[in-house]
């Protein structure tokens, strides 16, 4: 049984804990994610089924220290050969807890100390050192420093993913969206949308992230479906220990092949007119259409239309409405957006009776412009912006 940490954006920890529980033996919430214990096969299944985790780290080595100069010798005491070879490259990221930040001001220096310990150990056995690569390393290690009574605890973990799990592979080339894929999935999970029963309408679909995540959930399709199809490797596949595990490697390859084949089949059987997307920008419509096309969805699977959210009339009588309007990050934006938020609320009030409405925003002043009573305010973080998913009962 190994120990792991699944990271996620702040505010999603409770949802991630519930998602992870069926796959693991023990689990608990940590800062920015979930700690859990599981065997290898359960963890690998989790890697291609989690909609919420950003990355999954395997805990390798833990030690206590009083002086940072002792870090290299503690790190060197561990045998790193199962996780990095002399031909590999590595990157270390150091995370300090509140107590750690009071004493240690330079996390880059801490990372260098851990790097020295790993590389010196490999050199003592193989005669040469692996190289450091900050942009695109073969392996990424995480060094967490936590304060304890009269000392600090250092924990070294290795990233199993390589490319973040939240990178589903459906984004059109060269396009950056303001909403991460796993955050979009979390918003849908935090709502009361039932994919088997409810129609979903995204009134400001933008680049189509919420639409794409909703489609994967409705079709019960693995979020790693495209990654498996494109054969984008997970970094643990390059670990020396894994390359020697022929039986586990064969099972993993079959698991990925099955995930992609099932995804393709379910796309072919995808129900029509259960998810709708609207936006008043032609560019957004184009990007959304490309996003859905990359997933393999046709126009009738997720109809898109050029409509303004403030005048939109729903194509069905009941369901779930959601939108993610601009937050107003620049000075002067709030005044311009106040009318937009007010008119969103008025349109929900007048044209969406029988729906449950959700507005995701990172601006507490703008949300007050919606003249409707909220029945829930679910906190999330979109990067460094504290946000709320607001729920409205539209009777």
Could you tell me if 198 and 272 are in contact, meaning their C-beta atoms sit under 8 angstroms apart?
no
Q: Is residue 340 part of a domain?
A: yes
**For position 328, what pLDDT does the model report?**
75
Whole-structure pTM value = 0.92
Beta-bridge partner residues of 153: 64, 146
Q: Residue 289: which CATH number?
A: 3.40.50.150
Closest Cα partner for 281 from 309, 322, 301, 303? 309
- Is the same domain home to 118 and 32? yes
Q: Is residue 175 part of a domain?
A: no
Domain residues for the domain of 243 are 229-266
**For position 211, what pLDDT does the model report?**
97
- Is the same domain home to 76 and 153? yes
- Is the same domain home to 341 and 202? yes
**For position 330, what pLDDT does the model report?**
56
**For position 140, what pLDDT does the model report?**
95
- Is the same domain home to 84 and 155? yes
- Is the same domain home to 199 and 316? yes
Q: Is 7 left (phi over 0), alpha (psi -120 to 50) or beta?
A: beta
Q: Is residue 164 part of a domain?
A: no
Q: Which phi and psi (to 5°) does residue 275 adopt?
A: -135, 135
Q: Residue 11: which CATH number?
A: 3.30.2130.30
**For position 62, what pLDDT does the model report?**
95
Q: Is 162 left (phi over 0), alpha (psi -120 to 50) or beta?
A: left
- Is the same domain home to 237 and 358? no
- Is the same domain home to 338 and 193? yes
Instruction: Please give the Cα distance from 258 to 123 (Å, whole number).
Output: 40
Instruction: Please give the Cα distance from 260 to 263 (Å, whole number).
Output: 5
- Is the same domain home to 214 and 233? no
- Is the same domain home to 9 and 140? yes
Could you tell me if 161 and 121 are in contact, meaning their C-beta atoms sit under 8 angstroms apart?
no
Q: Is residue 14 part of a domain?
A: yes
Q: Is residue 24 part of a domain?
A: yes
Strands (E), the chain: 2-7, 26-30, 33-38, 55-65, 89-96, 131-132, 139-148, 151-159, 200-202, 275-279, 304-306, 319-323, 355-361, 374-382, 385-393
Instruction: Please give the Cα distance from 2 to 143 (Å, whole number).
Output: 17
User: Rounded to whole angstroms, what are the CA distances from 160 to 90, 127, 229, 236, 249?
Assistant: 13, 26, 19, 5, 14
- Burial zone of 307 (CB within 10 Å; 0-12 exposed, 13-18 middle, 19+ buried): middle
Could you tell me if 326 and 363 are in contact, meaning their C-beta atoms sit under 8 angstroms apart?
no
User: Rounded to whole angstroms, what are the CA distances from 364 to 40, 95, 327, 378, 379?
Assistant: 43, 30, 9, 13, 12
Closest Cα partner for 203 from 347, 382, 301? 347
What Rg, from alpha-carbon coordinates, does the chain have? 23
Residue at a domain's end among 243, 266, 289: 266
> What does the chain come to in residues?
395
Q: Is residue 93 part of a domain?
A: yes
User: Rounded to whole angstroms, what are the CA distances from 60 to 39, 82, 263?
Assistant: 14, 10, 34
Instruction: Please give the Cα distance from 125 to 54 (Å, whole number).
Output: 34
- Is the same domain home to 322 and 261? no
**Each residue's pLDDT expressed in tens, for the chain with a length of 395 residues:** 899 999 999 999 999 999 999 989 899 998 889 999 999 999 999 999 999 999 999 999 999 998 889 999 999 999 999 999 889 999 999 999 888 888 888 899 999 999 999 999 999 889 888 888 888 899 999 999 998 888 899 999 999 999 999 999 999 987 778 899 999 999 999 999 999 999 999 999 999 999 999 999 999 999 999 999 888 889 999 999 999 999 999 999 999 999 999 999 999 999 999 999 999 999 999 999 999 999 999 999 999 999 999 999 999 999 999 999 998 765 457 778 999 999 999 999 999 999 999 999 999 989 999 999 999 999 999 988 999 999 999 98
Q: Is residue 173 part of a domain?
A: no
Q: Is residue 165 part of a domain?
A: no
Instruction: Please give the Cα distance from 15 to 9 (Å, whole number).
Output: 11
Q: Answer positive or negative: Cα dihedral of 6, 211, 207, 223.
A: positive
Domain count, the chain: 3
- Is the same domain home to 242 and 207? no
Closest Cα partner for 356 from 192, 222, 224? 192
- Is the same domain home to 135 and 215? no
């Amino acid at each position: 049984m190994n120990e792991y940490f699944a990271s996620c954006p702040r505010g999603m920890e409770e949802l991630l804990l519930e998602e992870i529980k069926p796959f693991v033996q023990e689990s608990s919430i940590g800062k920015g994610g979930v700690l859990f214990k599981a065997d290898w096969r359960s963890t690998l299944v989790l890697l291609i089924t989690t909609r919420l985790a950003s990355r999954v780290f395997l805990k390798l080595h833990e030690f206590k220290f009083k002086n940072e100069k002792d870090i290299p010798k503690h790190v060197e005491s561990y045998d790193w050969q199962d996780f990095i070879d002399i031909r590999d490259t590595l990157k270390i990221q150091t995370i300090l807890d509140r107590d750690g930040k009071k004493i240690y001001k330079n996390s880059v220096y801490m990372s260098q100390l851990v790097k020295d310990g790993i590389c010196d150990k490999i050199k003592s056995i193989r005669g040469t050192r692996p190289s450091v690569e900050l942009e695109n390393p073969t392996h990424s290690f995480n060094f967490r420093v936590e304060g304890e009574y009269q000392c600090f605890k250092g924990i070294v973990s290795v990233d199993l993913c390589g490319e973040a799990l939240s990178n589903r592979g459906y984004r059109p080339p060269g396009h950056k969206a303001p909403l991460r894929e796993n955050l979009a999935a979390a918003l849908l999970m935090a709502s009361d949308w039932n994919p088997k029963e409810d129609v979903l309408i995204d009134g400001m679909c933008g680049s189509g992230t919420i639409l794409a995540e909703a489609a994967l959930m409705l079709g019960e399709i693995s979020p790693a479906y495209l990654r498996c199809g494109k054969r984008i490797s997970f970094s643990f596949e390059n670990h020396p220990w894994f390359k020697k595990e022929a039986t586990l490697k064969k099972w993993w390859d079959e698991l990925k092949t099955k995930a992609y084949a099932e995804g393709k089949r379910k796309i072919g059987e995808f129900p029509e007119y259960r998810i709708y997307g609207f936006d008043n920008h032609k560019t957004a419509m184009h990007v959304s259409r490309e996003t859905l096309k990359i997933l393999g969805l046709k126009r009738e699977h997720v109809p898109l239309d050029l409509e303004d959210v403030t005048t939109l009339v729903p194509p069905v009588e009941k369901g779930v409405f959601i939108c993610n309007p601009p937050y107003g990050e620049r000075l002067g934006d709030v005044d311009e957006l106040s009318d937009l938020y007010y008119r969103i609320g008025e349109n929900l009030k007048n044209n969406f009776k029988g729906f449950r409405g959700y507005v995701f925003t990172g601006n507490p002043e703008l949300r007050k412009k919606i003249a409707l009573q909220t029945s829930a305010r679910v906190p999330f973080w979109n990067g460094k912006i504290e946000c709320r998913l607001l729920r409205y009962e539209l009777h």
